[in-house]
Amino acid sequence: MGEGDGCDGWVLKQPMSARSGEFKKHRPALPGPVRDWNLLRADGEGSWAEARWGGWGCRAGRGCGRGGPDCVAGGPRARSPLPLQGSAGTRSGVPSPPDAPMAQFVFESDLHSLLQLDAPIPNAPPARWQRKAKEAAGPAPSPMRAANRSHSAGRTPGRTPGKSSSKVQTTPSKPGGDRYIPHRSASQMEVASFLLSKENQPENNQTPTKKEHQKAWALNLNGFDVEEAKILRLSGKPQNAPEGYQNRLKVLYSQKATPGSSRKTCRYIPSLPDRILDAPEIRNDYYLNLVDWSSGNVLAVALDNSVYLWNASSGDILQLLQMEQPGDYVSSVAWIKEGNYLAVGTSNAEVQLWDVQQQKRLRNMTSHSARVGSLCWNSYILSSGSRSGHIHHHDVRVAEHHVATLSGHSQEVCGLCWAPDGRHLASGGNDNLVNVWPSAPGEGGWVPLQTFTQHQGAVKAVAWCPWQSNVLATGGGTSDRHIRIWNVCSGACLSAVDAHSQVCSILWSPHYKELISGHGFAQNQLVIWKYPTMAKVAELKGHTARVLSLTMSPDGVTVASAAADETLRLWRCFELDPARRREREKASAAKSSLIHQGIR
């Protein structure tokens, strides 16, 4: 009986005759009501049949009309077995319980005979037992038998008879995406919004010169031409348009080879340094900037109380200066853009200016109250940062050299860098702050344009993007270990990557549009990052102690790393291939020719 019935019956076993279908009464009439008789087995004469007894004519409409006093319809005992009480008989013309199951059996037999089919249904799927038997028998020995198999087998026939169909690959093997579904990470929806809003604005009658000026500014700020920007980036990347096309998006291309047969050009990056120089007694101080490479291909290195010059072209070494007072040491060095003057910061709060050709000190500028750990040039303005947290601007052309004081740090200023266009100065300090200063004071004086507080450690690594003057890269110390890319115009953090170690220095490579960073414990390695994805390109290992400073050669090919293991290693990690070198030389020659024609 199912869940919710008012009464449960008894299960009885009695011998029966399969021919007559009549029960042999070997026991007296069963007490209690009979509800349902289900013949479960009838194997022949003398076999046993199981009958389930229930109630007939129940007062609650559940078929229990002859129950004992303990049968309560719908009560809490409705699910429990009933006691054997009551007697068999008839009530209101209802047949007695022994006759009721016989009538039920006759009804089921008649129903089965009416529903029985004389022939199988055509084109019907086989029964489950037939499919199991066919699978257990194995495949057909003849291919023709498999080919002539009926389509009613419930399976779609394969393309080749007798051959198991291969698994269809629904996911592409390469993460290139679908041809018609763009990559969200590479799409530029901000540019799309700007172009849509620009169409609704009235046209301004501007002169061609002003339009070119605005286009140059937009290219400098955004890093790409907005009018030719690809809004949706699909799986395939088109080739660069040839020279002479007004719009690179309207160029038609024809594919000559399949993508699978195209070979990727791999760039070789040496894992070993090109040269190793000794740097004895170099100070293991994170806050100092002890190396710089001039435009004349001369490398300046500060070793304790001395400054040495190494000519990378000839290999000559020259000692430029040595501190006179015992205990004093050189804390920073910086070349002027032309490469003929060297600025030297000392531990006794002095800034010295040296003429390298004559090996002569030109002047000694004393305006700081603590050691000068960072220096940076902007034309004839020399900016110096000290342990006191102040930044001083020195005009080296005049006697009163101290022209400005910038107060934005509460601890030592360990990183200084002027933007390539000379409009902004970035400073990093031991107070975990990054300040962006204007080149001229505003109405409120010398106030930072931007202050970034996301770093959790000292910020020494500060570098501007050479081809996009509003992009700044900074790196944090041991407590932070992150490299962050900033847009100084909007103040937004474009990206942040965990370097997993102390970031000591950052440089940009204009040849490949990459970054290289120097790190401390535990790997003491140099890491090359792809911009703007910040994907790791290569790791250069060799130093046995933390990297203190990085500097790049004037041709942008070699990077010099000074480390606390008292070695100076030169890495040729941005070597140009011959084709790219010829293109760069051609572009440089065309630019110099254009400048020469403009001067004439």
pLDDT digits 0-9 by tens, 87-101:
444 444 444 455 556
Say if residues 393 and 380 touch (Cβ distance below 8 Å). Answer: no
Q: Which tens digits make up the pLDDT trace of 14-37?
A: 444 444 444 444 444 444 444 444
Specify the pLDDT at position 503: 97
Amino acid at the residue 41: R
**How many C-beta atoms lie closer than 10 Å to residue 537's C-beta?**
15
Give CA–CA dist 273/568, Å, rounded: 10
- Is 393 part of any domain? yes
- Is the distance from CB of 474 to CB of 455 less than 8 angstroms? yes
181 within domain boundaries: no
Q: How many CB atoms lie within 10 A of CB 22?
A: 11
Return mean pLDDT, the chain.
76
The residue from 73, 107, 141 where one domain ends is: 107
Instruction: Give the position of tokens 């030297």.
Output: 344
Q: Is residue 292 part of a domain?
A: yes
Last residue of a domain, one of 107, 124, 147: 107
Q: Quick check: is 405 in a domain? A: yes
Q: Is the pLDDT of residue 143 over 50?
A: no
What SS3 class is residue 124? Answer: coil
Q: Return the percentage of the chain with pLDDT > 90, whole number.
A: 50
Please report the pLDDT score of residue 56 as a whole number. 41
pLDDT at residue 235 tops 60: no
Per-residue pLDDT of 275-305, as tens digits, reads 999 999 999 999 999 999 999 999 999 999 9
CATH code of the domain containing 431: 2.130.10.10
User: What's the CA gap between 55 and 244, in Å, rounded?
Assistant: 99
Domain assignment of residue 34, given as a range: 1-107
Is the pLDDT assigned to residue 11 strictly greater than 80?
no
Q: Residue 90: inside a domain, yes or no?
A: yes
Confidence of residue 578 (pLDDT cuts 50, 70, 90): confident
pLDDT of residue 21: 43
Does position 450 have pLDDT exceeding 80, yes or no? yes
What residues contact 168, with CB distance under 8 A and at least 6 apart? none
Q: Is residue 187 part of a domain?
A: no
**Is 149 a member of any domain?**
no
Cβ atoms < 10 Å from Cβ of 523? 16
Q: Which of 19-28, 460-469, 528-537, 550-559 has the lowest mean pLDDT?
A: 19-28
Q: What is the mean pLDDT of residues 190-208?
A: 71
Number of domains observed in the structure of the chain: 2
Length of the chain: 600
Pick from 239-243, 411-415, 517-521: least confident: 239-243
How sure is the predictor about 108, in pLDDT bands with cuts at 50, 70 and 90? confident
CA distance 26 to 380: 125
pLDDT at 10 over 60: no
What count of Cα atoms within 13 Å lies in the side-chain half-sphere of residue 67?
A: 28
Using pLDDT thresholds of 50, 70 and 90, give the confidence band for residue 506: very high
Question: Has residue 254 got a pLDDT over 60?
Answer: no
Distance CA 288, CA 508 (A): 20
The band of 50, judged by pLDDT with boundaries at 50, 70 and 90, is very low
Is-contact 311 300, C-beta < 8 A?
no
- Ranges 196-200, 252-256, 490-494: which has the least confidence: 252-256
3-state secondary structure of 413: strand
The three-point CA angle 246-252-256 to 5° equals 135
The confidence band for 47, taking pLDDT boundaries of 50, 70 and 90, is very low
Does the global pTM surpass 0.75? no
Final residue of a structural domain among 59, 83, 107? 107
Dist. CA 573–CA 299, nearest whole Å: 18
117 assigned to some structural domain: no
19 or 384, which is more confident?
384
Helix (H) or strand (E) holding 112, with range, is helix 100-115
